[in-house]
């Protein structure tokens, strides 16, 4: 299965820069999620910018540590700067990230899921019914066991975060979309995992595999939002 994940394979791209992925005109889970949660993802919210900034830095540190050292700088005032953002991350972010890294790699399920695989895997496929381009970007793909892994950072209890995957977060839709991409491209039913990492002490890590009920909920939401998108008036 691993040999399919090569740059020459048209539907799957390894090492694709995020700007190139973002520029690709295709339906994605963000568009669909906003159809049932219009308030989700307000990029102009300063608090959300900090949340997204921490998440981006955390993803980079855990999944692409060499790139993290190239792109992020710890400032004398304790803030953290990124080459990709003009807004520095708040004081204490560096220390929090180092603690996150320490607890992440000692978790037994993390060790198992990340022993093999690829970070930031971009998927491109055609919707089987609508025949429109679709895309998704996996935080981590383990081809040895056929597992999609998504990282999330929680402000409070990671356990509570994991319990609310299907609620207002709609992660069942997001991960269902990724699973559909893998199904269309590789013809397999992938395992689907969320790793939730607390951003504050004690920096607990929770590994959650989506249940049959959660997967079914995601499929229903995908069907609903795809229909809404299909019949949405043109701007």
Please name each of the domains of the chain with its CATH number: 16-229 (3.90.320.10)
pLDDT score recorded for residue 168: 65
Alpha helices by DSSP H, listed for 64-151, are 65-71, 93-104, 108-113
Point out the least confidently predicted range of 39-48, 104-113, 121-130, 212-221: 39-48
What is the spatial distance between Cα 61 and Cα 49, in angstroms, rounded to a whole number?
Answer: 18
Give the CA dihedral 223, 145, 68, 15, nearest 10 degrees.
-70
pLDDT score recorded for residue 67: 93
Query: Which whole number is the average pLDDT over 127-137?
Result: 90
Give 234's pLDDT tier (boundaries 50, 70, 90). Answer: low
Give the residue from 176, 165, 141, 153 showing the smallest Cα distance to 28.
176
CA angle 93, 99, 101 (to 5 degrees): 100
Query: Which whole number is the average pLDDT over 187-209?
Result: 94
What is the spatial distance between Cα 11 and Cα 13, in angstroms, rounded to a whole number?
Answer: 7
pLDDT score recorded for residue 50: 59
Query: Which whole number is the average pLDDT over 205-219?
Result: 94
pLDDT tens figures, 34-47? 998 876 555 555 45
**What does pLDDT average to over the chain?**
87
């Amino acid at each position: 299965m691993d040999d399919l994940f090569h740059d020459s394979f048209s539907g799957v791209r390894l090492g694709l820069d995020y700007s190139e992925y973002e520029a690709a005109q295709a339906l994605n889970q963000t568009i669909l999620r906003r159809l049932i949660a219009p308030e989700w993802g307000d990029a102009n919210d300063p608090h959300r910018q900090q949340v997204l900034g921490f998440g981006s830095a955390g993803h980079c540190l855990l999944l692409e540590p060499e790139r993290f050292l190239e792109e992020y700088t710890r400032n004398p005032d304790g803030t953290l700067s990124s080459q990709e953002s003009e807004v520095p991350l708040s004081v204490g972010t560096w220390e929090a990230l180092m603690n996150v890294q320490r607890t992440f790699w000692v978790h037994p399920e993390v060790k198992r899921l990340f022993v093999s695989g690829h970070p930031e895997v971009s998927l491109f496929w055609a919707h089987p019914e609508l025949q429109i381009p679709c895309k998704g970007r996996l935080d981590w793909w383990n081809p040895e066991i056929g597992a999609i892994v998504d990282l999330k950072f929680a402000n409070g209890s990671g356990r509570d975060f994991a319990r609310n995957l299907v609620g207002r977060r709609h992660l069942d839709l997001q991960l269902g979309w990724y699973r559909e991409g893998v199904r269309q491209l590789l013809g397999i039913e992938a395992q689907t995992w969320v790793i939730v990492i607390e951003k504050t002490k004690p920096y607990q890590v929770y590994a959650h595999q989506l249940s049959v009920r959660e997967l079914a909920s995601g499929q229903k939401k995908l069907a609903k939002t795809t229909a809404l998108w299909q019949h949405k008036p043109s701007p």
